[in-house]
């Protein structure tokens, strides 16, 4: 799983870099994924001729997705390293099995938490459309407390 995340990140990074390079070379500003205002600002500040600035500006959605993959990979790697340090397992085979088991339990917990969070949002949306402002504020606070409690008790 960890290697898969790493490969996914580097593959997507390379693909995005090639796409940005092609867009910069072709001067296809309208395909940069910017709003009209952002594009006007980029042209006014000569960012369209500065390759470094241009590649930082273009394709913001794809760049954000790549950042998410990177954060997920880093978070996963840190969890694995924390587990290695916590258990002090010396045997590679035992360590591999322990990490696999722990990681699968962790991913299951995250998926369950994600589902519960989605359910909370749906419930919140339904309730908010029917209740007063004070009640809405209290309901949001209650749901945030529930989620905060759940995230502190992941395996």
pLDDT tens-place values along the chain, 155 residues long: 555 666 777 888 899 999 999 999 998 888 988 888 888 888 888 888 888 888 888 898 998 888 887 777 777 777 777 766 777 666 667 777 777 777 778 777 777 777 777 777 676 666 555 556 566 667 677 766 666 555 444 44
Residue 41 and residue 119 in contact, taking contact as beta carbons nearer than 8 Å: no
Q: In degrees rounded to 5, what are phi and psi of residue 109?
A: -65, -40
pLDDT in the model for residue 3: 59
Answer yes or no: are the C-beta atoms of 100 and 93 closer than 8 Å.
no
pLDDT value of residue 103: 74
The H or E element containing residue 79 is: helix 60-87
User: Which run of H or of E encompasses 19?
Assistant: helix 2-26
Q: Is 131 left (phi over 0), alpha (psi -120 to 50) or beta?
A: beta
Angle between helices 133-151 and 92-128 (to 10 degrees): 170
Rounded to the nearest 10°, the torsion over CA 24, 27, 30, 32 is: 0
- Decide if 50 contacts 27 (C-beta within 8 A): no
Q: How many alpha carbons fall within 13 Å on the CB side of residue 3?
A: 1
Structure token digits, residue 70: 């990177």
Question: Is residue 1 within 8 Å of 37, Cβ to Cβ?
Answer: no
- pLDDT score, position 133: 59
pLDDT of residue 5: 63
């Amino acid at each position: 799983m960890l290697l898969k995340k790493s490969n996914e990140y580097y593959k997507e990074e390379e693909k995005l870099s090639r796409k940005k390079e092609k867009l910069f070379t072709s001067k296809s500003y309208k395909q940069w994924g910017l709003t009209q205002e952002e594009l006007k600002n980029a042209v006014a500040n000569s960012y369209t001729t500065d390759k470094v600035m241009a590649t930082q500006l273009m394709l913001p959605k794809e760049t954000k997705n790549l950042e998410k993959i990177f954060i997920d990979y880093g978070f996963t790697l840190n969890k694995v390293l924390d587990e290695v340090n916590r258990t002090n397992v010396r045997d590679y085979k035992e360590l591999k099995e322990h990490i696999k088991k722990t990681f699968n339990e962790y991913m299951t917990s995250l998926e369950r938490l994600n589902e519960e969070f989605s359910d909370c949002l749906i419930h919140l949306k339904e309730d908010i459309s029917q209740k007063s402002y004070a009640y809405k504020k209290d309901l949001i606070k209650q749901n945030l407390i529930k989620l905060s409690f759940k995230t502190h008790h992941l395996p």
